Amino acid sequence: MRRSLVAVGMALGVATMLSSCFLPANRPQASEPPAEPGISREAAGELLNAVPGLQTGTVGSVISGLSYEVIVEVSVDDAASILAPGVLDYVLRVGWATELPNEPTILSLTVRNNGTTLDLQSQAQELTGGANLESVNPFSAYLDAPADYLGDWPGAVPTPPTLPAV
C-alpha cells in the first residue's frame, strides 16, 4: 500500500513537471492588450500597387545565412514614379510594416523598369542619411540595419504619399 502511494505521488510529480514544460513561460495576462500585428503580404502588395506608377508590388522574405531579409519588389513604367516625392520612403516603410514569420535584419528593394533593375542606392542613401546602406547587386537599394532608419519592426503602416495631380 505504501509503495502504491509513493508511486502515485511520484507519477503526479512527474506529470506536473512535464505539463509545465509545455506551457509558455511568459503567458500574457488577460489585461494586457495584444501586440499590434503588421500588415499581411497581400495588404502590402495592395498598398504598393495603389501608388500611381507602381505595379506588381510584392513583399516577401528569405533567410540569408544567419539573417532574415524582407524583400520588396515593384515594377515601374517610368523611373520617375519611384523617385516622386515620398514614394521611395513609402515603399520601404510598407515593406518594414509587413508581418513576417521572423523579425528581419535586412531590407532589400528591387525596382524594375522594362526588365532593367534601377539603381536607387544613392537616393536611398540620401533618404536615410546613409543609415547602414550597402551597395549590393542585384538590388535597387539594400539596408543592412533597417531598424536604424525605419524604427522597430513591424513598423506602422505608412500614409501614402501625396502626389501631384497628373
Q: Dump pLDDT digits (tens) for 6-42.
A: 444 454 444 444 444 444 443 333 333 334 558 999 9
Q: What is the pLDDT of residue 15?
A: 45
Q: What is the pLDDT of residue 35?
A: 42
If pLDDT is split at 50, 70 and 90, which confidence band does 1 have? low
State the DSSP H helix or E strand holding residue 5, giving kind and residue range, or none if neither: helix 2-21
If pLDDT is split at 50, 70 and 90, which confidence band does 131 have? low
Give the Cα separation of 56 and 61 in Å (integer): 16
Give the Cα separation of 102 and 62 in Å (integer): 10
Q: Does the pLDDT at position 137 exceed 80? A: no
Does the bond joining 52 to the residue before it have cis omega, within 30 degrees of 0?
Answer: no
Mean of all residue pLDDT scores within the chain: 80
Q: How many CB atoms lie within 10 A of CB 146?
A: 26
C-alpha cell at 26: 511568459
Give the Cα separation of 42 and 38 in Å (integer): 12
Say whether 33 sits in a helix, a strand or coil.
Answer: coil
Q: Does the pLDDT at position 60 exceed 50? A: yes
Residue ranges and CATH numbers for the domains of the chain are: 41-150 (3.30.300)
C-alpha cell at 133: 546602406
Q: What is the pLDDT of residue 138?
A: 80
